[in-house]
Structure 1
Amino acid sequence: MKRVCFLLKVRAERLEEYRRRHDAVWPEMLDALRATGWHNYSLFLRGDGLLVGYLETPDFDAALAAMAETDVNARWQAEMAPFFEDLDGRRPDEGMFTLDEVFHLD
């Protein structure tokens, strides 16, 4: 499994609503993530809006591509886009800034 970490920035004025939305992620979205290879997926939100995502997947590009083909992802991304800064017209799943893993303690 490949470990993937990414960053996004949530708008300060939308932090609480963003948290509430993730308290009730659509079951259809959760099913799609699982079916397309997203495992051990977590999101961490800092008080200033820095969002750190972590997941494990055999192939991140394939997992992204498979999600991009689902209707539920298109709807979710459209609803979530206004929460983020600096997307420049991209969907949140297209604006993730991935980090290189430099150390892992197994």
Structure 2
Amino acid sequence: MSDNRQTDYGKIEITPEALAAIAGAAAVRCFGIVGMVPRGLRQGVSEILGGDSLSRGVEVNQEGSDVKIDLWVVMCYGVNIAQVAHNVMETVSYEIETMTGLRAVEVNVNVMGVRVFE
């Protein structure tokens, strides 16, 4: 389901894929986030996504102007996981609301792993 708006100049359509790309880009910019992983990766974090694949670690459910977002992330070792997750929630919510005008009513952060850098 996409958000359609009619203006004097034409129709604006915001797809769930566009919302997922915005949310994924906002999440990886947050301190403590290493990357996004695909949902359902069971064998551990063998594949950290970057670049064009950011939206693969994001699920968007949209009902009217309300958006619910689920993120699957990998964090750096040594960070406060709860605080980083809270920062991700606020950043993603802010970016969705300012870029699209839609309301992010729920942002869930699923920490799939912690990466240790040598």
Calculate the TM-score normalised by the size of structure 2: 0.34
Structure having the higher Rg: 2
Q: Which has the higher helix share?
A: 1
Structure with higher strand content = 2
Bigger RCO (CA 8 Å, 6+ sep)? 1
